[in-house]
Amino acid sequence: MVHLEISSYYHNMMNRLRQQYLRTTVTVRDILKGETGASMVEYGLLVALIAVVAIVSVVLFGNTVAAQWSDSADSIVNA
């Protein structure tokens, strides 16, 4: 009975180690191949999208924000 429990424990432990080894091997292989992660094109698109959002925000809200800052500055000076 005890022998079966040890054998079963050893078998489960070896399976877990084998699975971890295979995952690590696949991860290292993918990193070396360079097929994981974002490509430079994807980063470029992301930066372009952020720039477009920033420009649109400044165009739409720029005058309102500038007026609010001016009002705040005037109220501080006049206080």
Alpha-carbon gap, residue 76 to 14, rounded angstroms? 72
What pLDDT sits at residue 32?
Answer: 67
Q: Which token pair is 27?
A: 């991860």
What pLDDT sits at residue 2?
Answer: 52
Mean pLDDT of 45-74: 91
Domain extents in the chain? 1-37, 38-79
Q: Fill in the amino acid letter for 13.
A: M
Q: Could you list the beta-strand ranges (E) of 1-79.
A: none
pTM: 0.42
Residue given tokens 């429990």 in the structure block: 5
Mean pLDDT of 56-74: 89
pLDDT in tens, 2-47: 555 667 877 788 888 888 887 777 766 666 676 556 678 888 899 9
Write the CB contacts of 36 (distance below 8 Å, at least 6 apart in sequence): 30
Give the torsion through C-alpha atoms of 42, 47, 52, 53, to 10 deg.
100
- Tell whether the model's pLDDT for residue 66 goes beyond 60: yes
